[in-house]
Chain A
Amino acid sequence: MTVPIIKVQQLDKIFSTDDMLTHALQGIELEIQQGEYISISGPSGCGKSTLLSIMGLLDIPTSGKLYFEGQDVSQLSIEEAAEIRNQKIGFIFQQFNLIDELSVFDNIALPLRYAKRPLRLNIINDKVDYCLNLVGMTSMGQRKPTQLSGGQQQRVAIARALVAEPSILLVDEPTGNLDSRNSDQIMETLELLNMQGTTLCVVTHDIRYAEMAKRKIYLLDGQILGQTSFNDECIP
């Protein structure tokens, strides 16, 4: 068996605020292999986003281990985490998180500009054009995000997540802000990307979209309730 892209062991996350402790994640065990398409679903507040943030090195676990491509990344410094995010992880958020002042083109180029080893300008141009093409936005490169529809914005976000050729795409409620037609298009795009080899981990509470994944994970109160693989039945 190859080294999994992400391996989570006995992962706990506790949020402490002034007056209470929230055990957002408890004893999570999870492996994501190259080329997989995983969905994470569960009721609101069960810890989906928290899990995704930790796997994407946006947040740090309270305890437990996290391996990225075999490397222990549970205790990385902020700078080291930034580097891995830049090179190996693509994020797609519910609220797009595009940068309004930058053009669509520059938004997509941004991860390449943050790269540790800067790329030549024409290479950046080629890569951005390729990604724009991939999400069907070729003609919109010079627009500002505010001049796009929600669905278009999300496609730009996907392009931006892809441009640095990450090992995995982490997607949190990609369709939360979109109508059903746009949502379907986005999910189809993602599915297509997976078929072309991109590893995908999608958080969604929409049962239809969860079903599209090859492996489905159910979270409840911070714990993995069950997993189903492509042809399996639910393991309680």
Chain B
Amino acid sequence: MRKLILRHNQAWASLKKKPGFILTVLLTMGITLGALLCVVTLNYLLLVEPLPYPEQDRLFVAEHKLIGPEKETKAIAFTYPGLVHLYKSKEAFEKASIMAYSQDVIVSHPSQPLVNTAYVTPELHQILASPMAMGRMFEASEAMDTNNPVAMLSYNTWKKEFSGSADILEQKINLSGISYRIIGVLAENFVEAELDGIGRETQVWMPWDYNQTGERGRQSFGNISGTLNFLGQLKEGVSQSQAQQLLSPLVSDRWQEGVIEMDFFKGWSVVMLVTPVKEVMLGDSESIAVMLLAGVMGLVLIACANISNLFMARTAEKQRQMAIQAAIGATKKHLFQAMLAETGLLMFMSIILALVLAQIGFFVMQEHFEQILPRVNELSFNPITFGSAVLVTVVFALFFAKLSTWMVDYRSLNTTLQSSGKGSGLQVSKKVRQVLIASQVALATVLVFANFSLLKDAVKTINAPIGFTTTNISTLVLNFASTDFPTQEERLPIMAEIKEKLEALPQVESISQSPSPLDGWGVRALTDVVSKERYTPFLNGVSHTYFGMIKQPLVQGDNFTLVDRQDRNNVMIVNQSFAKQLKADGDVIGMKISVGGPDPFKIIGIVKDIAIPNATPTGSDNADAGVPRVYTPNGLGSQRFMVKVKPGMSVSREQLGKLLSDVDSRYSVYSFDAADDILTKSLFVEITTAVTTAVLASLVFLLAGIGLYGILSYGTQLRRFELGARMAIGATRKHLVSMIISDNTKAVLIGFVGSVVLFALAYIGLSEYIQPFLNWQVLPMIVATIVLIMLVTLFACYWPLRQYINKPAIFSLRGSD
């Protein structure tokens, strides 16, 4: 033990003289291993760790799959009566629960916040065994058809919106005109089964009866909704496929009965999908996690190669010292132990840094990846993290120590001493060094280029023109907080007054009583009256001032008029993509389109396409195909407004809330968001990708740079005596710098050629992925990559040389310092 401490003290004493070396190893290994630990923990959590629910392997999600006449999947979503039917049948499941997700405003709250809501049957929290911070969960008294208005809050909502008030259980909240008594607050460590998108936290839970589906929708088998969900615990011994077979006829028969009158669904059918809840929650995040792991492994490999180079360089530097130790009787094992003490110490320090960085990584992921990766909130150190930390520390320490001593030719160490340190004892031959430089350059070039390309792609999506303006435009959606809905006639004067008051606000430039291009879209089944062809474009009802405000150009025909809206005229404007679908030449003005009602709509205008980020056309996987959209004039009772403020000005949610309640106390703000913010949110994945690849690219570049530097400086160190000899006979700095550069240039050039070969190989293997990248645009990136690598090379040539050429020649001629 004492020996061990002594050995480590010696190791530290010898390392202390090389702060640059320590720092390089520490940063390289610390950063990459930090990333590794972070991603390993994430992978464990997503791939291995069970969900924190009892019987979690028996928990399944059931889904309706609607199949069209050509056996194509039309939708995976329930119809309201279909879901209730399945729930009531109690088939295959021991316990089952149904949920409807929505959003609503807590109007009784002073700041009237918009919250995520879920309407659920009591079984849900029983199945999940949800821990409570306070109060109780839903019980039989809140089961279906009990109409008992109570609510549960999420822990965060309780803390944030109700400042953690202790008497929360005596309070009531009002949503959509119904007053709910709060009966419980979920615990902080409750993990929601996020079925409706990753990162969507339900803030207020209410009983199923209060879900926002209207009376007609509750009956209609044609009402397909993506917000309805079914989660249950399968009966003991019933398998996933058995459940599927059991349930499919049950739902299919009932559905066929329900839609027998509806022409549109002719030839459609329904099957049940039963999926483990874990699979639904994880979505395709498993592949993201595995890809992250692969990426980080790549980083670790580069880092490892780099550090190997550095250790080789260090051994070269220490040759004399080792020779002396060997001469006085140190065996190879002694040298290995001394080396191991050093590498062990370095790896220990690196792993401490790595653990700190991993913790920061968890935090960053929780802050920023909540919308991309499920379960990130559960990320924390666990035995797997620590186990892998210990493992990599030991493995790398042994590996580097072994590598360092392996390159020492023990027998010729004595010669080293005799020849007064010309370094014949251990030299990685010039050829090997050249190969190392070339491969480093090749690797770095490929990686930097690949990262550049990824980055460019993400940035391209972010900067892609959307085809309309969002500047200074916000969307205001009204909330009606009462159960006695006004009729259309009652609503007209109220909306007219609200519009007038909004226009009178000093900050406001103009108002359009219309949804924005970023919301209000619904897929509608349309039929061409003449050909009877069916289409499913996106449809939105908009005002006559809509296209003008967002500057979406009309390319043919006419815009809607105020009269069209007042008289509810059956006119329609289509975008170019839909025009092309209707007619190959796109000349569709005057065509008649049925939207299901008795009177068809006449197409009066064609507008340019818009490109809402990440909106893919229905029934097509091709993201480049334009999204077909149609517009109809909305009524004057519409409760959505686009508010365009004057440059540099803004309107607050509170101010609008007051304006609305002054007009009619039943109205409040549902949502009021700047269009730019909505756009940014919809680009979240791209922005995260861009940031992640930018970070990765700089990390790769940094590591590649360190690697190149390591191997080049190693080469220079080996030439120390030669440099000294040249200086003694009068070589100036310029001579030496240009000599080192020209000696390394060949290897660097070979490296560039090597990267071309790597790309060629990649192209043969992955041409379909690479093909789209190959255009003249890659040229500047190639140039940028090469210039960057060249600059690093030049730096790596000069910097290690500096310690020799800026000191008296004797420094280089002498062996030790």
Contact = CB atoms under 8 A, between A and B. Distances in A.
A83 B729 CA distance: 9
B629 interface: no
A93 B813 CA distance: 10
A115 B213 CA distance: 93
A59 B808 CA distance: 5
Q: Which of B419, B724, B735, B813 has the most CB atoms of chain A within a 10 A radius of its CB? A: B813
A97 interface: yes
Interface residues of A, number: 31
Interface in B164-194: none
Interface in A87-134: 87, 91, 93-95, 97-101, 110-111, 114-115
A206 B784 CA distance: 62
A208 to B, nearest CB: 22
Contact of A82 (B419, B721, B730): B730
A83 B732 contact: yes
A39 to B, nearest CB: 21
Given A58-B808, A60-B808, A78-B808, A91 B420 contact: no
Nearest to A88: B730
B419 A95 contact: yes
Q: Which of B724, B725, B727, B808 has the most CB atoms of chain A within a 10 A radius of its CB? A: B725
A85 interface: yes
Contacts of B806: 78
Main secondary structure of the interface of B (DSSP, over half): helix
A197 B813 CA distance: 29
B36 interface: no
Contacts of B420: 94-95
Contacts of B732: 79, 82-83, 114
Contacts of B726: 99, 110, 114
Contacts of B430: 101
For chain B, give the interface size range.
Answer: 20 to 34
A94 B805 CA distance: 22
B528 to A, nearest CB: 82
B724 A114 contact: no
A110 B729 contact: yes
B722 A91 contact: no
Contacts of A53: 810
Contact of A97 (B730, B807, B813): B813
A216 interface: no
B809 interface: yes
A219 B730 CA distance: 28
A114 B813 contact: no
Contacts of A60: 808
A58 B728 contact: yes
B544 interface: no
B731 A97 contact: no
Contacts of A205: none
Interface string B794-816: 00000000000111111001000
Contacts of B810: 53, 58-59
Q: Which of A58, A86, A110 has the most CB atoms of chain B within a 10 A radius of its CB? A: A58
A99 B422 CA distance: 10
A114 B729 contact: yes
Contacts of A93: 728, 813
**9 smallest beta-carbon distances between A and B, as pairs:** A86-B730, A97-B725, A59-B810, A58-B810, A58-B809, A111-B729, A85-B730, A82-B732, A114-B730
Interface of B: 419-420, 422, 430, 721-722, 724-733, 735, 805-810, 813
15 contacts: A58-B808, A58-B809, A59-B808, A78-B805, A81-B808, A85-B730, A94-B420, A95-B420, A97-B728, A99-B722, A100-B722, A114-B735, A115-B730, A161-B729, A164-B729
Given A58-B727, A78-B733, A86-B730, 17 more contacts: A53-B810, A58-B728, A58-B808, A58-B810, A82-B730, A85-B809, A93-B813, A94-B420, A97-B721, A97-B728, A99-B722, A100-B722, A111-B730, A114-B729, A114-B730, A160-B729, A164-B729
Interface of A: 53, 56-60, 78-79, 81-83, 85-87, 91, 93-95, 97-101, 110-111, 114-115, 160-161, 164, 177
